[in-house]
Amino acid sequence: MANTKLMGLFQDPEQAAGAMTKLKEDGFPVEDLDVYSGSPFPEGSFGEHEPEMRLYMFPLVGALVGFAIGLLWTAGTQISYPLVTGGKPLLSIPPMTIIMYENTMLGAIIFTVLGVLFESRLPRRNLGLYDERITEGYIGVIVDCPEERATAAESALQGAGAEEIKREEG
Amino acid sequence: MHNGEHEFTAGPLPTHQDVARDVLGRFQDLGHRYWGWVTVLAFLFLLGIVGFIIRLSEGFNDENRANWGYFVATLAFIVTTFTAMPVISAGLRLAKANWRRPLTRVTENMAITGLLVVLMLIPALIALPSIDGRLSIWFEFPLGAPGVWDVIGYGTLAFIGLALLWGVALPDLAAARDHLPNSTRQRVIGWLSLGWVGGVRQWRVLYQGSLLAGAMYLLTYPLVQTLMISDFHHGLIPGLKDAIIPATVVVNGLQGAVGMTLLTMYLMRRLGNYEKYFSVEQFWALSKPLLSFSLLWFYFWWASFITFWYGRQPGESEVIRLLVLDEYRGALMISFFLNFIGPLIALVWNPVRRSVWGPALVGTGVVIGALVNQVRLYVSAFSVADPSQHVLHPRPATQWPEAPDLLIIVGAISGCVLLFMLVSKIIPVVSIWEIGEGLRLVKVRRYLNRYARVIAKSH
C-alpha cells in the first residue's frame, strides 16, 4: 500500500512539539515522524525518535586502518630492505611514530567524512517534501503514514496550529 | 551578565529569521567594494608570484639556499596565524562556549589557506638540503623523508580543515540555496549543500561530526608545527638542541590564531559592517586567552634560552649569538615587545580588555610580532652555509629582505586574504544556524534592579 508524507510547517517550536505529542497520541509510530529545523534543538525537545547512529565507529576504524598502514609501510620497508647502520637497531622508531601518527589522523578523517555522509544519508539529489522557510527558522513536522491515515495526520497538524500543510504521495 | 558597555534591556532579541535574512542579505550583495578589494588582493598575489618566479629562476642550489629563507618564513607565518584559526573554533565548540557562535565561521573559513600552505610547502621542501649527515627528526629513515611525510602531514591538516569547514557549513549552504535568486552561484551553492534538509538525524550527525573533525584538527596542528620547526629550523642550525621548541611553536601558533581572529573580526566590523555579530563580548572573551598565550610565549622562550645560557658550550654560545644576542637581536626585540611585553602591559587593564579596540590593537601587534619571529627563526636557519657541522661556524650575517622577498611576503598574505574573501562568497561568513541555536538558549530576565542574560546549557 502506498504511503503518504505530510509536512506541517510551524513558526513556533512549542506548537511543533504539541503536534508531535498529538500525532503520537493518535497512534502514529514515533519512527515515522521526523522534525526538520534550521538549527539543532536539544535531544528530545520535540519528543522525537532518536536515530541510532554509529558515527563514532568510523573515525575509530579509520584510525586503526591508518595506523596499520603506517606500521606496515614503515616497518615493512625496513624489514624488507635491512640496512644496518652503525650497529643501530633496524627499526627507526621515532620517525616511524611520526609517519604512523600522520596515517592514523589521515585514516580517521577520511573515514569520518565517509561516516558523516553515510549516517546523514547525504548527498541526496531530491529534497523531497521540504519548504524553504525551514532554513529561516520554521519547524517542519514530517509524518510518513499509509494513505488512509493521512486525513488523521492532517487534522492533528492542523489542530496544533500548522501554518501550512504540504503533501507528497509515495 | 553584564558586558560593561551595553546594559541588557527587556527588548526582544532577534529571531533566527532576522539573522538568516540579515546574513543572507549581506551574503547576496557582491558590491563594487567587494570586487575592488578582490582586485587589489589578486594584484598583490600576482606580485607575490612574480617574486616567487624570480627566486625560482635563481634555483635551489646549496649556495643560494638563503634566498628561500623569507619564503619559508612566510609559509611558517601563514601556518602560525591563518591556518591556526580553525583551532579556535574547534576548541571553543568542544568547550561549548556560547560566545563563540558569531566567530566560528570566520575562523573555519580560514581553513581554506591550508591549500596555499600545501602549495608553498613543495618549493620549500625542494630548497631543503639533504638530511644525510645532519641532525634531523627523520634519523636514517630514508623512505621519502622529509618531503613525502611533510606533504602528507600538511595535506592531512588541510583536508581536515576543509572537511570541518564544509561539514559545519552545510545548513548555511542550504539556507543560501533556498533564498538566493537563481544563478550560477546559487546552483554551485546548491550542489555544495548536498541536499541538506535539517532532519533530526542530520543534526545529530553534524553535531558529532563537527566535534570529531575539530578534535582531529586540534590533534594534527601540533604535528604540522613540529614538522615545520624541526625540518626548516632546528635541523639546519648546528649546535641547536632545543627539546621544547615544538611545544613553543604550537603555543605561538595558538597566540597567532587568537591575534589573527581579533584582527579579522575588527576588519569585518569596520569594512563589512558586522558590528552586531562581533561585539565587545567576543573581543573581551578572546582577550583573556590572548593574555595567557602571551605569558606562555615568554615562558617557553625563557625556558629555551636559559638552557643555552647556562650550557655555554661553544656550539650553544654561537646559537644564542645568532638567534638572540647578535644577528637577529633586533627581530627578537620586536617580537619580544609585540608578543609579550605589549600584550602584558595592555591586557592586564580591564577597560582595555573590555573594549573592541584594545584586543584588536594587541592582536594586530601579535600578528606582526609573529611574522618578525618567523623571520628570526627561519631566515637565520636558511642562512647557515653548512648544516652538517657540529658547531655553527662561521655565524651567518643578518639577512635583510630583498625585493623578491618583500613581494613574496605581501603576495602570500594577500593570497590568504583573497582566498578567505572568495570562500566567504560561497559560505556565509557568519554561521546562521549556530547563532540561531544560541538565540533560543538566551533569555533576558529581570534581576533585582536590572536585567540579566540567562543562558541555557544545550545537550
pLDDT digits 0-9 by tens, B398-428: 999 999 999 999 999 999 999 999 999 999 9
pLDDT of residue B83: 97
C-alpha to C-alpha distance for B225 and B53, rounded to whole angstroms: 26
CB pairs under 8 A between A and B: 172
**Which residue of chain B is at minimal alpha-carbon distance from A122?**
B194
Helices (H), B128-244: 147-179, 184-192, 200-232
Select from A120, A129, A130 the residue whose CB has the most chain B CBs within 10 Å, as the one to mutate to test that interface.
A120
Helix (H, G, I), strand (E, B) or coil at A165: strand
The pLDDT confidence band at residue A3, using thresholds 50, 70 and 90, is confident
Q: What is the mean pLDDT of residues B177-196?
A: 95
C-alpha to C-alpha distance for B222 and B412, rounded to whole angstroms: 22
Supply the DSSP string of B73-138, one letter for each residue: HHHHHHHHTTTTHHHHHHHHHHTT-GGGTTTHHHHHHGGGHHHHHHHHHHHHHHHSPPSTTS--TT
HSE-CB of B181 using CA atoms within 13 angstroms: 3
**Which residue of chain B is at minimal alpha-carbon distance from A127?**
B195
Select from A105, A135, A144, A168 the residue whose CB has the most chain B CBs within 10 Å, as the one to mutate to test that interface.
A135
- CB neighbours of B454 closer than 8 A, spacing ≥ 6? B442, B443, B444, B445
Helices (H), B273-392: 280-311, 314-320, 329-336, 342-347, 350-353, 357-374, 380-383
Bridge partner list, A36:
A140
Q: In this structure, are residues A12 and A21 in contact, taking their beta carbons and an 8 Å threshold?
A: no
Decide if B138 and A134 are in contact by the 8 Å CB cutoff: no
pLDDT of residue B249: 97
The pLDDT confidence band at residue B1, using thresholds 50, 70 and 90, is very low
C-alpha to C-alpha distance for B51 and B84, rounded to whole angstroms: 25
C-alpha to C-alpha distance for A133 and B132, rounded to whole angstroms: 63
Bridge partner list, A166:
A7
Q: What is the mean pLDDT of residues A17-39?
A: 94
- Interface ipTM: 0.94
CB atoms within 10 A of CB B245: 19
Encode pLDDT of B360-394 as tens digits. 999 999 999 999 999 999 999 999 999 988 889 89
pLDDT of residue B453: 84
C-alpha to C-alpha distance for B389 and A79, rounded to whole angstroms: 31
